[in-house]
Amino acid sequence: MSLILCFNLIIKPMFSKACEYAIRAAIFIASESERGRRASLKDIAREIDSPEAFTAKTLQKLSRSGIIVSTKGAHGGFEVKQDMATKIKISEIVLAIDGDKVYTRCSLGLHDCSENHPCPFHSRFKPVRNGLKEIVENTSLRDLTSGLVSGDTFLKI
Amino acid sequence: MSLILCFNLIIKPMFSKACEYAIRAAIFIASESERGRRASLKDIAREIDSPEAFTAKTLQKLSRSGIIVSTKGAHGGFEVKQDMATKIKISEIVLAIDGDKVYTRCSLGLHDCSENHPCPFHSRFKPVRNGLKEIVENTSLRDLTSGLVSGDTFLKI
DNA sequence: AAAATTAGGGACATGAATGTCTTTATTTTA
DNA sequence: TAAAATAAAGACATTCATGTCCCTAATTTT
Ligand code: FES
Ligand code: FES
């Protein structure tokens, strides 16, 4: 009757692949922007180890959302405007990729998550969810970029 | 530049559909077992509002894992043995459905989540993950069944 | 013994997420 | 002006989770 961990399986698809690439790409782009360089799609895909064409799609969404700025042509690429890095929250990146359908998702798949009609897992799940909510809404792109620049965190492997 | 919530989108697929059905089904089966009744597949699918054939698959896995016991024939169905309800943790149900590949999943999709090679989100993500881990490993099937029996929680709609 | 009722299991179908390819548009460089 | 470099966009391909169908096995009821 060995139970043991398994937690990682539960939270396995926390972000979609598209979202993972978007966040990692945004962090890399922001770090390059700090050094005054634009990042090309090819650079990005190499540095975050992601499929190039698929990553391009997510970058287009970030661009349309105004989170990053794209420039065509030689020496073009993607950048994050300096004053934006601290303003952009991780929640905004997720919103840009997964769309703006704001609804309340129940952990056990009920139609809506609500206090009036809670599933059996609701009361235990809610505090964890709120904790995560706090984090994604209060962490800026700049917050995540700084560790990368200092070499303490990584974007691939 | 409206950001606002979006958190629910992030955690959208916390459990797979199969896992959601499995947990909800197990809760219902356990509640029926407390009353001395077996639950048939048809009953279960109706009570948790899930696709019957698909739910059958997940019940087979729970059965093979020894979490529930199945009986064929008239007045057969599924049951949870009384002393088991308090022993079974939610983590075991998830393990039974999603398999036993125990690995460490990084929130940003790096190959492994580790302290030595952390992604930029690691330090913020880890406490939330640990909180959730605590909960799924320490919540028993019985814990979730009691609210259903008392009418305080729900399994559908 | 026959019929009815239940779960088990394999094959197939569908849909969504992921990923690829090709062409077009824009800008810079030569 | 021509060529090269880059992103944008649409069509297509693949994979995987989800879901359905149909037949089989086991048990109980008649
Ligand atoms: S009702 Fe299920 S998590 Fe809130
Ligand atoms: S390395 Fe990314 S969450 Fe731990």
**One pLDDT digit (tens) per residue for chain A, 157 residues:** 222 222 333 445 578 999 999 999 999 999 999 999 999 999 999 999 999 999 999 999 999 999 999 999 999 999 999 999 999 999 999 999 987 654 568 999 999 899 999 999 999 999 988 888 899 999 999 999 999 999 999 999 9
Q: If DSSP codes are grouped into helix, strand and coil, which group holds residue B138?
A: helix
In angstroms, the CA B85 to CA B33 distance is 9
Of A105, A110, A156, the CB nearest to B154: A110
Chain A CA closest to residue B126: A132
In angstroms, the CA A12 to CA A9 distance is 5
pLDDT score of B126 more than 60: yes
| pLDDT of the residue at A13 | 56
B62 contacts: CB under 8 Å, gap ≥ 6: B22, B25, B26, B68, B93, B96, B97
| pLDDT of the residue at B100 | 61
Among the CATH numbers 1.10.10.10, 3.30.360.10, 3.40.50.300, 3.40.190.10, which is that of B16-100+140-149? 1.10.10.10
B5: buried, middle or exposed (CB in 10 Å: 19+, 13-18, 0-12)? middle
pLDDT band at B5 (very low <50, low <70, confident <90, very high): very low
- Residues pairing with B69 in the sheet: B79
Strands B77-79 and A69-71: unpaired
Which one is predicted more confidently, B28 or B13? B28
Task: Enter the DSSP assignment of A140.
Answer: B
Chain B CA closest to residue A93: B3
Please indicate whether, in this complex, the C-beta atoms of A118 and B154 are within 8 angstroms of each other.
yes
Give the residue with minimal CA–C1' separation from C25.
A72
pLDDT score of B42 more than 70: yes
Angle between helices A90-98 and A17-34 (to 10 degrees): 130
Contacts of A13 in chain B (CB under 8 A): 13
Angle at A84 between CA A25 and CA A14, to 5 degrees: 40
| Burial annotation B98-122 (CB, 10 A radius, 16+ → b, else e) | beeeeeebbbbbbeebeeeebbbbb
B83 contacts: CB under 8 Å, gap ≥ 6: none
| pLDDT of the residue at B3 | 25
Measure CA A17 to chain center: 10
Question: Two tokens at B54?
Answer: 């698909």
- Residues pairing with B39 in the sheet: B78
Strands B69-71 and B77-79: antiparallel
D8 C1' to A72 CA distance, Å: 9
pTM above 0.85, yes or no: yes
Please indicate whether, in this complex, the C-beta atoms of B9 and A153 are within 8 angstroms of each other.
no
What percentage of chain B exceeds 70 in pLDDT?
Answer: 89
| pLDDT of the residue at A39 | 98
Q: Is residue B29 within 8 Å of B40, Cβ to Cβ?
A: no
